[in-house]
Structure 1
Amino acid sequence: MDILTRLAYLVIRRRRTVVTVWVLLAAACAPLALALPDRLGPGGFDVAGSQSYQVQEALGRDFDGGAADPAVVLLRGEDAAAAVPAVTAALEDVEGVLAVRPGLGFGGQEAGPGRAYLSVALAGGQDDQVRAAERVVETVDEAVPAGVTADVGGRAALYVDVNAVSKKDLERAEIVSFPLTLLVLLLAFGSLVAAGLPVLLGVASLVVTLGLLYGLSLVSSLSIYVTNTASVIGIAVGIDYALFVVTRFRQELRHGLGVEDAIARSVATAGRAVAVSGLTVMVALGGLFLVDVAGFRSMAIGSMVVVALAVAAALTLLPAVLAMLGGRVDRFTLFRHRPTTGEGGGWYRWSRLVMRRPALFLAGVVAVLLACAVPLLDIRLGQPSASTLPEGSGPRTVMEQVQQDVGPGAAGPVEVLVPTPAGAGSAAGSAALQAVASRAEQVRGVVSATVAGASRDGTVGRVVVLGNSVTQSAEGQETIRLLRDALVGAHDLPAGVLVGGQGASDLDLTSRVNSRLPWVIGTVLLLSLLLLTATLRSPVLAAKAVVMNLLSVGAAYGLMVAVFQWGWGADLLGFTSEGQIQAWVPLFLFCVLFGLSMDYEVFLLSRMREEHARTGDNEQAVALGLEHTARTITSAALVMVTVFAAFSSSRLLAFKAMGFSLAVAVLLDATLVRIVTVPALMRLMGRANWWTPRWLDRVLPRLEAVAPPPAVITLPDVEAARTTSRT
């Protein structure tokens, strides 16, 4: 008896204790889950050690009221100029504000009639600045006189609005997705009780996850995005895992097994597929740690914890509840599905059709997936500007007004720090600063470069550079690259020049993602291949699964580029494309999609392996495996698509792109890949599907379990078996 079977019987014997423990745990975690948002950091996407990070640190530490990304207050109205002193005085008392200066911080008022700007330098790192920006917004709203309107912009204020919008969108998505998910489950099961079990599992694992994350937040900084990612992933996998186990349990009851044996078999088969799938998802998500950025670590931690708890709930809480319900799992049945019928079923006949022309079906699907993936060749990564926020938001209003009054580059000036050991005010120091400014003005895309002061000890000078493009645009990012090429390390300029600022921070994050992405992909592919080989006992099946997953992920990426970069269907989805994809989205999507795609692969191939062990016939195993799992896979995919589609309604472009891409990828994976390419490839590979070198079989850990064939019962025993199942 393997470990999962022993676990199942233990849970069955201690069913009330297991349920009580989960209820108490959820009850204890619920208030912590509600308090979690107050413990999360609002930023977490600065790149430690980068040039932009060093510039930000130096400005806050060594300059009087300096900041690479100041908050910008825009006052509008006839009395805007008169309101400046009162607003300035109020802001100077705000915690986290280093200094308040008139204008945009690089000379003059820079505003037309009826408008005034204030530049507010904020202290600390990204998280501290965002918290300070929240206080700035509140203070400005209270200090501005009647007749004057005020908006706060800048990168820190952008994060404030992004976090607020994402929180509201998350709540709305959860409200929308749960009833739709319940409807899908009801259609899948036909029974209210059976349909409610996956929702119970998803909610329980998510609540406990958020409570545990509160505990982690006490010892480590977590990004606010952890709640979004944990919710999206947790709801989807929690419901899917429960769907797998409950479906198998009902099948075993129909085969005549008693309740306890049906639970044990379900945990040993579907439960094992759930465990391996969850482990694969966590391995894939672990790739985010290789980027070494706090925000990515937070998303990885939250997602991995919720997946681990979803697996734990599927293997403990769910069997305990099923043991209590027994045959009553089908109570309140609204309609009945025709049970899977083996060789007479529709999916069996479909798989046989595919296997009669495997090369034709395979070529057709691969052609479609490759065609969908073509736009990926044109992908451009970047960071969002305030234009991605809803119209009328403070940061977007300020950005648009600054661009109108001063120019596109003024919304995110480039900060250049120049070492001046002799003193910035000395002849040598002044000459060095002017040389840097002059060289900067020769760079393509630069409008002006102005010497804007020095550090308190005079050993570092500051040059502010304005470009002719928004710093987050492709043109603006190219200007920053050219500036670094021209200024950093130039033999005729001072050594140690640093180029930072808002746009440079975005460039550093994008560069970090680009440089680590190959390592993430390679590590995830290798670990997934090893895990699947151990699970399926077949290097051929494992390699096939990895290649098919890459095709479906590539297709999803291509469609994402076509929609969110090229703008296809943008009006239909209600957004305006910035001509690029936010840098963190493809990285996070790869880890999530590659892991989630394995859910269906492991569930399907595990059942095929069971049938092959029973029949010894490759084609029969493929056909029966698909017949017994296709309806479940389709239902599970529909659940995921429903959840992800609800999150794609977000007003934030990054989360909209993420929800859309996840929904499309799951849809492609569960249809074209699982029900077409899998039977086609299994037919073409034949006996090679089940081949394992002897040396490999000896060294691989034993993760697979092949269940014995269903019990054979005679007709007189059927009613007795049903009576047992009802008890």
Structure 2
Amino acid sequence: MTAQQTDTPPHTTTTPPDAPGALARWGTWAARHIRPVLGVWLLILVGLGAAAPSVFSSLAGAGWQADGSESVAVRDLAQEHFGGNTSSAVQVVIHTGDGTVGDATTTGIIDRATELLAADDRIAEIMPPTPGVTVSQDGKTGILVAGAAADTDDMVRLADDLSDSITALATEGTEVFPTGQSMLWSDFNHANHDAMMKAEMMSWPVTLLILVIAFGSLVAAGLPLMLTIAGLVASAGALVLLNSVTPISVWAMNFALMFALALGIDYALFLVARFRDALRSRPDAPDAAAAVGETYGTAGKAVLLSGLTVLVSLSAVLLVPAPAVRTMAVGIMLAVVFVLAASFTLLPAVLGALGTRVNAVSLPYAKKQEHRSPLFARWAGILRRRPVLAVVGSGALLVLACLPVFGLKVAMPSIAVVPEDAPVRQGYHLVQDAMGEGAPGMLQIIVDDGDAAEASRTAAQTAGIGAVTPAAPASDDSGLTMFQAVPEVDPSDSAMNGILADLREHLPESALVGGAPAENIDLQDALDRWFPVIVGIILVLGFLLLLIALRAPLTALVGTVVSLLSTGAAFGVARLIFQDGHLSGLLGFEPQGFLDGWGPVFFFAMIFAVAMDYTVFLLATVKEHRERTGDATTAVTEGMAHSGRIIFAAAAVMVAVFFTFALAEPLPPKEMGVILGVAVLLDALLVRLVLLPALMLLAGEAAWWCPAWLRRILPDISFSH
């Protein structure tokens, strides 16, 4: 077939239409009952919307821990038996340039800080700067420790409340900064939230512009934003309500914001484009409700399958025993659920009410725009003539981009992830300058009284430990003793892993080692341990969903495996940028020498979900045309012609949304924006529009082969109308 021939729709034989399926009937009903649908959504948005404004102030700020780990056990014991001297305790760093800690000026500051902190019931015992323990050798820097009497989330809220008041205690010649783990998460959350909100605001105008270009109509372009707003308001309110039952990380809403926008646009693009095509097929008697029914009987199945694939991918993340990671997945899943709900209720009702007015306020070219794209039909013709070249070329580029993954390093974030002028970072560096590199990350050791002397000697002789503080007995009769070991390296240094392992191996059996660095290492170990399990679950469940929908084992397998290439390529690029520092000057960040530890687990699930989103749209359209024509090769051509422009437009929106986060100052949103943006770009351009269709062209009818026994088991899902 020539390129010219591929632009002409193939001749198809007409057969009596089957009875409309459940989704088609549902779409028709919703299109004819806009008032009850809008009434229900009004109740949802008013009810959940009332809670939504407090979402960022209500949600939890901590949760970065491995539940059940040794370090969490140490924190719990320290809070119960040692006056709250835990990793979540508030530390106030006082540094004087003229005098020494203990003179009249610093004593006055310590007294005011003690009064300020003691007035809050989230503070337990307050320990003033102690020579030999929390005062530097030159006497110019001291640390006041305010013990934690509340859980880690409440301690982060306390840091939010008191940070400015503590900083305001400074006088001329004397600096005062709050620091410690709770203050770190407070400043970290604020910096990242502000950056993500700015990025969201930047992305909306760009998104609207792309949608107007894609649809050619202001009214049609507004429908994806309607879905997004409805999904965001509902999910924000639901997260606030859920937070009253169990702590939900504030990061859950940050990610929900981004994914609601991306998926809301994806789903609306696919559905609205199909609806407009259904209307055009009825020029003499445009029945909006019937067009909606046709839309949901075809494209609706693909959207539902896509949403289920996203939910399945993210549900695997719930296995990680880290509250922050789990609840981030919950936030995205809630956003997906509400966007899906709006896509299957609110959108068909509005489409039914609009009818042909969906094309209102159109640009001139929009009147000639058809669902079937001649441009992508011609592109499919090129792939059809050179499928081997397409597979080899796109595959080689993707594999080349994947190669750096093998040198990827991950770790929990260092102090560099907060802005340089953040109080916690200034206090951190004051402590390092005065007391040594490892002083901000002391390791806490709790041991039975009888083993305390041996444990102290062993810790002091451990390589990498510079000093050991005097042992302190518990404040009750628990029979426990606690002391702290000061490492010789920065808390984020990779050598800390070996130091912690040596301590745990050689200390007496009753000893437990914790502290902020240990909590980070234990969390990273948990993430590393669960990563292959999560990858396996996501791949298997993604394959099964495609198999059920397509009834084609080879196509389901290929569709699943090629998604790994774009995922691996994105992490390969991430290693070059964030670990090795390439483009760091252009992007404006200081490389840590590793990727933040939650990246592989969380970003893999997100990237795979988005990749499968495009896979479903393409393969569902290809299957629809195979059902119509009975020819596998023609089906690929027509599938590309009918879905290529939608995939391209959806990818353009996602890349624009994600890359705006690359402009953020803090590192985590920058990592997220670059990794997800690169993943979507590579997946759409090289995988969905080149590699996957070329592989299907090479496979021919074998792509749709299914053994008889499996065909009897699987449901018969048709994507044609």
Using the size of structure 1 for normalisation, the TM-score is 0.91
Q: What letter is aligned with 1:201?
A: L
Say which SS state the counterpart of residue 548 (structure 2) adopts. Answer: helix
Aligned pairs (5 A) from 1:557-568: 557-568=571-582
1:25 alignment partner, one of 36, 44, 52: 44
User: Contact conserved, 2:88 with 2:155, CA < 8 A, in 1?
Assistant: no
User: Contact conserved, 1:453 with 1:463, CA < 8 A, in 2?
Assistant: yes
User: CA shift at 1:637, angstroms?
Assistant: 0.5
User: Contact conserved, 2:622 with 2:639, CA < 8 A, in 1?
Assistant: yes
Aligned pairs (5 A) from 1:416-565: 416-420=445-449, 429=450, 432-456=451-475, 457=477, 459-487=479-507, 494-565=508-579
User: Contact conserved, 2:133 with 2:469, CA < 8 A, in 1?
Assistant: no
Match of 2:241 in 1: 215
User: How far, CA to CA, are the matches of 2:594 and 2:487 in structure 1?
Assistant: 19
Verify: 1:307 aligned to 2:336, yes or no.
Answer: yes
Using the TM superposition, name which of 226-235 and 461-470 deviates more: 461-470
User: Contact conserved, 2:274 with 2:371, CA < 8 A, in 1?
Assistant: no
User: CA shift at 1:452, angstroms?
Assistant: 2.7
User: CA shift at 1:27, angstroms?
Assistant: 3.0
Match of 1:101 in 2: 127
Match of 2:347 in 1: 318
User: CA shift at 1:391, angstroms?
Assistant: 1.1
User: How far, CA to CA, are the matches of 1:105 and 1:391 in structure 2?
Assistant: 29
Match of 1:120 in 2: 146
User: Contact conserved, 1:382 with 1:580, CA < 8 A, in 2?
Assistant: yes
Tell me, which stretches of 5 or more residues in structure 1 are unaligned? 421-428, 488-493, 709-727
Match of 1:706 in 2: 719
Aligned pairs (5 A) from 1:80-229: 80-103=106-129, 107-110=133-136, 112=138, 115-141=141-167, 143-144=169-170, 148-229=174-255
Say which SS state the counterpart of residue 654 (structure 1) adopts. Answer: helix
Match of 1:720 in 2: none
User: CA shift at 1:46, angstroms?
Assistant: 2.0
Say which SS state the counterpart of residue 514 (structure 2) adopts. Answer: strand
User: How far, CA to CA, are the matches of 1:450 and 1:213 in structure 2?
Assistant: 43
Match of 1:374 in 2: 403
CA-to-aligned-CA distance 1:354-403 (integer Å, 9 cap, x gap): 22222221111111111111121112221112221111101110111111
Verify: 1:625 aligned to 2:639, yes or no.
Answer: yes
CA-to-aligned-CA distance 1:502-545 (integer Å, 9 cap, x gap): 10000110011111111111111111111110011111111011
User: How far, CA to CA, are the matches of 1:191 and 1:18 in structure 2?
Assistant: 25
User: How far, CA to CA, are the matches of 1:486 and 1:298 in structure 2?
Assistant: 36
Using the TM superposition, name which of 470-479 and 535-544 deviates more: 470-479
Verify: 1:236 aligned to 2:272, yes or no.
Answer: no
User: Contact conserved, 1:608 with 1:621, CA < 8 A, in 2?
Assistant: yes
User: How far, CA to CA, are the matches of 1:147 and 1:398 in structure 2?
Assistant: 15
Match of 2:9 in 1: none
Say which SS state the counterpart of residue 99 (structure 1) adopts. Answer: strand
User: How far, CA to CA, are the matches of 1:414 and 1:218 in structure 2?
Assistant: 33
2:369 alignment partner, one of 339, 343, 352: 339
Say which SS state the counterpart of residue 470 (structure 2) adopts. Answer: strand
Q: What letter is aligned with 1:380?
A: K
Say which SS state the counterpart of residue 336 (structure 1) adopts. Answer: helix
Using the size of structure 2 for normalisation, the TM-score is 0.92
User: Contact conserved, 1:91 with 1:139, CA < 8 A, in 2?
Assistant: no
User: How far, CA to CA, are the matches of 1:178 and 1:498 in structure 2?
Assistant: 50
User: CA shift at 1:84, angstroms?
Assistant: 2.0
User: Contact conserved, 2:447 with 2:481, CA < 8 A, in 1?
Assistant: yes
Using the TM superposition, name which of 172-181 and 142-151 deviates more: 142-151
User: CA shift at 1:606, angstroms?
Assistant: 0.9
User: Contact conserved, 2:263 with 2:339, CA < 8 A, in 1?
Assistant: yes
User: Contact conserved, 1:94 with 1:135, CA < 8 A, in 2?
Assistant: no
User: How far, CA to CA, are the matches of 1:545 and 1:113 in structure 2?
Assistant: 65
User: CA shift at 1:341, angstroms?
Assistant: 8.3
CA-to-aligned-CA distance 1:211-254 (integer Å, 9 cap, x gap): 12222222222111111011111111011111110111112222
User: How far, CA to CA, are the matches of 1:546 and 1:650 in structure 2?
Assistant: 32
Verify: 1:352 aligned to 2:352, yes or no.
Answer: no
User: CA shift at 1:293, angstroms?
Assistant: 1.9
Specify whether residues 320 and 454 from structure 1 end up closer, same or farther in structure 2 by C-alpha distance, changes over 3 A only.
same
User: CA shift at 1:141, angstroms?
Assistant: 4.2
Specify whether residues 15 and 85 from structure 1 end up closer, same or farther in structure 2 by C-alpha distance, changes over 3 A only.
closer
CA-to-aligned-CA distance 1:184-222 (integer Å, 9 cap, x gap): 101111111111111111111111111122222222221
Q: What letter is aligned with 1:124?
A: A
CA-to-aligned-CA distance 1:588-615 (integer Å, 9 cap, x gap): 1111111111111111111111111111
CA-to-aligned-CA distance 1:255-285 (integer Å, 9 cap, x gap): 3363222211111111111110000000000
Quick one: percent identity of the two aligned structures? Answer: 35
Tell me, which stretches of 5 or more residues in structure 2 are unaligned? 1-19, 99-104
Verify: 1:597 aligned to 2:626, yes or no.
Answer: no
Say which SS state the counterpart of residue 438 (structure 2) adopts. Answer: helix
User: Contact conserved, 2:417 with 2:667, CA < 8 A, in 1?
Assistant: yes
Q: What letter is aligned with 2:595?
A: I
Say which SS state the counterpart of residue 232 (structure 2) adopts. Answer: helix
User: How far, CA to CA, are the matches of 2:341 and 2:84 in structure 1?
Assistant: 51
Specify whether residues 249 and 341 from structure 1 end up closer, same or farther in structure 2 by C-alpha distance, changes over 3 A only.
closer
Specify whether residues 470 and 665 from structure 1 end up closer, same or farther in structure 2 by C-alpha distance, changes over 3 A only.
same
User: CA shift at 1:148, angstroms?
Assistant: 4.2
Q: What letter is aligned with 1:556?
A: A
User: CA shift at 1:143, angstroms?
Assistant: 4.8
Q: CA RMSD in A?
A: 2.0
User: How far, CA to CA, are the matches of 1:88 and 1:194 in structure 2?
Assistant: 60
Q: What letter is aligned with 1:463?
A: F
